[in-house]
Structure 1
C-alpha cells in the first residue's frame, strides 16, 4: 500500500508525517483525532453482488457505498481536528471492519494526528 496525501481548502491530509524537505512542515502536534462511518448492505446491492461473485467483475454499488463511508469518516476526523485548531491531519490510518450478526454492515474508521502546519 502506498501513501495518501492531499491538500484542499487550506487543510493538509497525509498518511505520512512530512519532514519539511522543501515541502510541508509540521509546526505543532495537537492530538489524536478519528472519524467513523457504518454502512449497511441492502437487498439490491446484495443481489447484484451475488451475481458478481458468480460471473466476476467489480461490485460498483458496494464500491460507491464504501467510498461514501470513507469520505464521511474522513470529514468527521477533519471536523474534530479543526475543533482543536488544526489545519492538517498526518499519520492517517484507514481501517475497515465487517460488523453485524450476518456481516451485513461495514465500519470505516479514520485515525490520525491533528497538526498545525507551518
Structure 2
C-alpha cells in the first residue's frame, strides 16, 4: 500500500502510479490553487494593461506647440525636454530614392519613414514631458541630422520647453 505524497493518506500502488503520487483530495486542492493563482495573474495583467492605457492617454493629451500662443496661460516652466529617433533607410529605399534623385519625383518610402520617425519623436517628447509633470510643451523644434556619410542613417531630434498650463 502506498501513501499520498501530499497528505499521507493511504492509496493503492496503482492509484499512486496513475495519479503522480497524490490522492484525489490533494489533486483537487492543487487544481483549485492553480486556478486561483492563474486568476491572480490574469487580474494583475488586466491592471497593468489598464495602467499602461491610462498613461498613454495622459501622454496623448499633452499639447505640443511651436510657438507661445497668446491664449496659453503658462503657470510653470519646468525644463527643456528632448527626444531622439534614429532611423535607417534600408537598401531598397536607398535604391529607389537614388532613382528619384535622377528622374525627379517623391519617394513615398522615404516620406513614410520620416513621417513615422516624426510621430515617434513627438510621442516620446510628450512622454518626457509627462515624466516631469508637464501638460504641454512649447517652442517645439524638430532637427534632422545625418549620421552617416551615405545618408543611410538619419536622426530626428525634437525639443521644447515642458510647461504647466491652466486647463
On whether the aligned pair clears a TM of 0.5, the verdict is yes
Q: Which residue of 2 aligns with 1:11?
A: 62
Q: Partner of 1:73 in structure 2?
A: 121
Greater fraction of residues in strand: 1
User: Unpaired runs of 5+ in structure 1?
Assistant: 1-7
Of structures 1 and 2, the one scoring higher in RCO (CA 8 A, sep 6+) is 1
TM-score computed with the length of structure 2 as normaliser: 0.61
Measured after TM superposition, the shift of residue 105 of structure 1 is 0.3
Unaligned runs of 5+ in 2: 1-58
Between the two proteins, the alignment pairs up a number of residues equal to: 108
Query: More helix per residue: 1 or 2?
Result: 2
Matched residue, 1:111 = 159
The aligned counterpart of 2:34 is none
Shift of 1:99: 0.7
**Does the CA-based 8 Å contact 2:60-2:123 persist in structure 1?**
no
CA deviation digits over 1:43-98, x for unaligned, max 9? Answer: 11011111211221101111110111111111111111001111100011100011
Indicate the SS of the match to 1:107: strand
Q: TM-score, normalised by structure 1?
A: 0.85
Q: Work out the CA distance in 2 between the residues paired with 1:78 and 1:44.
A: 32
